[in-house]
């Protein structure tokens, strides 16, 4: 594994601006039509869902008895419902969706001070980040900067990572999911002028490249560190089939995270990492023909195991963006792969019927199969990244 040099604060100052992507690939007329139909359905579903979720709670999934599963603001998924509502408002300009989103933002705002979770990127950037992008309310910027400061308290410079969990048998666990929370920090540096946030994000990303990935660019789920020395203690899984397996959503988190980090920094190490992860996913012999992964690429019993539509949604959104930076044949290959994933997700095999599926958009996601938790159900984050991917496809296709 190549050695990576940490970026200096001066270099960070030069790399805060977003990359301007190259020209997009051609969009298929039929898929654009399906995307619009899916987004229209999504807007209707989420307006229906809002009627069934108490004002102080957020939708999460479906219980084993078929009822709606909700969460409080501290659950790591709490930001996805308001975030999806805001994406759908962006698409529809329906003020009812905006009003519902703003109501739910009030529920989760208190989490800006939560220093007990690594998931503030998911919780606050997917929600308040979209709110600030669309509505430009300076109060939302303050919420995000406070959230970034809270997240930064979990960084250990000796380890070079943000700690994921404060529970379980691990000492200093870092999960691949944590790559998704770094965008809050890069945004915070770009917005505030304080390079410390971006330095944390880059250091975490570099350490993760060094320790999380195997020679084939598949990823472990959990790396446990010694917080005093930074030494790796264990390479494990929590939601995958085995320590040595490739948990599907984990691969998608890594793909999305390094694509995002390249956008934020222009560091080609991150672009190359994203391309390697994409190739692992797309060239994997266990990737089904419809491009919606099984819950783990190495799950015992394939093909008779649950799928994970959330992994496909995250990967599709990431592949669309990666195609903007990859160039040449790779750009077309990644775009086409995302198209195939979205074609499947917008089909009746995965897209819910109106008024069904507890008003979630996608069916057939898997939260944690080893724990028999959220298996073959809708998930709020599957919907979020699905809607994001559809909007990206419509925006970037030519």
Question: Is 40 marked active-site?
Answer: no
Confirm whether residue 119 is marked as ligand binding. Answer: yes
Question: Is 216 marked active-site?
Answer: no
Of 119, 224, 296, 383, which residue is the catalytic one? Answer: 119
Confirm whether residue 203 is marked as ligand binding. Answer: no
CA distances from 372 to 203, 239, 302 (A): 34, 10, 17
DSSP state string for 306-346:
-B-HHHHHHHHHHHHHHHHHH-HHHHHHHHHHHHHHHHHHT
Q: Which residues contact 282 (CB under 8 A, 6 or more apart)?
A: 333, 334, 337
Confirm whether residue 368 is marked as ligand binding. Answer: yes
Q: For residues 380 and 169, what is the distance between their CA atoms, to the nearest angstrom?
A: 28
Helix, strand, coil fractions of the chain, as percent rounded to 5: 55, 10, 35
CA distances from 158 to 169, 221, 222, 227, 366 (A): 21, 21, 18, 7, 34
210: enclosing H helix or E strand: helix 196-212
Confirm whether residue 253 is marked as ligand binding. Answer: yes
Q: For residues 386 and 390, what is the distance between their CA atoms, to the nearest angstrom?
A: 6
Of 177, 224, 296, 308, which residue is the catalytic one? Answer: 177
Confirm whether residue 23 is marked as ligand binding. Answer: no
Look at the alpha carbons of 113, 49, 378, 133 in this order and tell me if their dihedral is positive or negative.
negative
Nearest to 247 by CA among 181, 314, 201: 314
Residues contributing to the annotated binding site for substrate: 119, 177, 237, 249, 253, 368
**Residues labelled catalytic:** 119, 177
């Amino acid at each position: 594994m190549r050695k990576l040099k940490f970026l200096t604060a001066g270099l960070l100052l030069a790399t805060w601006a977003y990359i301007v992507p190259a020209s997009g690939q051609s969009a298929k007329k039929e898929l654009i039509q399906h995307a619009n139909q899916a987004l229209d359905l999504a807007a209707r579903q989420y307006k229906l869902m809002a009627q069934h979720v108490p004002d102080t709670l957020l939708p999460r999934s479906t219980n084993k008895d078929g009822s709606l599963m909700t969460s409080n603001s501290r659950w790591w998924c709490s930001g996805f419902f308001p975030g999806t509502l805001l994406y759908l408002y962006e698409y529809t300009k329906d003020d009812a969706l905006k009003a519902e989103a703003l109501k739910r933002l009030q529920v989760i705002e208190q989490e800006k001070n939560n220093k007990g979770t690594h998931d503030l990127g998911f919780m606050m950037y997917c929600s308040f980040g979209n709110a600030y992008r669309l509505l430009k309310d300076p109060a939302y910027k303050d919420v995000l900067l406070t959230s970034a400061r809270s997240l930064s308290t979990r960084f250990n410079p000796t380890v070079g990572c943000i700690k994921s969990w404060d529970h379980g048998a691990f000492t200093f666990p870092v999960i691949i999911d944590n790559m998704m929370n770094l965008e809050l920090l890069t945004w915070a540096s770009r917005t505030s002028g304080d390079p410390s946030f971006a330095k944390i994000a880059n250091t975490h990303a570099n350490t993760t490249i060094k320790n999380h990935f195997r020679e084939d660019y598949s990823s472990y789920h959990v790396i446990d560190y010694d917080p005093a020395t930074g030494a790796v203690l264990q390479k494990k899984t929590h939601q995958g089939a085995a320590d040595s397996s490739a948990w599907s959503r984990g691969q998608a988190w890594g793909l999305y995270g390094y694509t995002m980090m390249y956008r934020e920094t222009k560091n080609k190490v991150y672009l190359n990492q994203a391309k390697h992860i994409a190739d692992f996913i797309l060239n994997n012999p266990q990737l089904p023909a419809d491009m919606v992964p099984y819950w783990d690429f190495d799950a015992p019993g394939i093909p008779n195991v649950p799928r994970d539509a959330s992994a496909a949604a995250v990967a599709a959104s990431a592949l669309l963006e990666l195609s903007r930076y990859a160039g040449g044949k790779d750009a077309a290959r990644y775009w086409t792969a995302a198209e195939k994933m979205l074609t499947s997700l917008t089909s009746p095999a995965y897209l819910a019927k109106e008024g069904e599926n507890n008003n979630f958009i996608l069916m057939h996601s898997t939260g944690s199969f080893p724990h028999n938790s959220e298996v073959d159900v809708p998930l709020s984050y599957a919907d979020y990244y699905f809607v994001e991917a559809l909007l990206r496809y419509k925006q970037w296709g030519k």
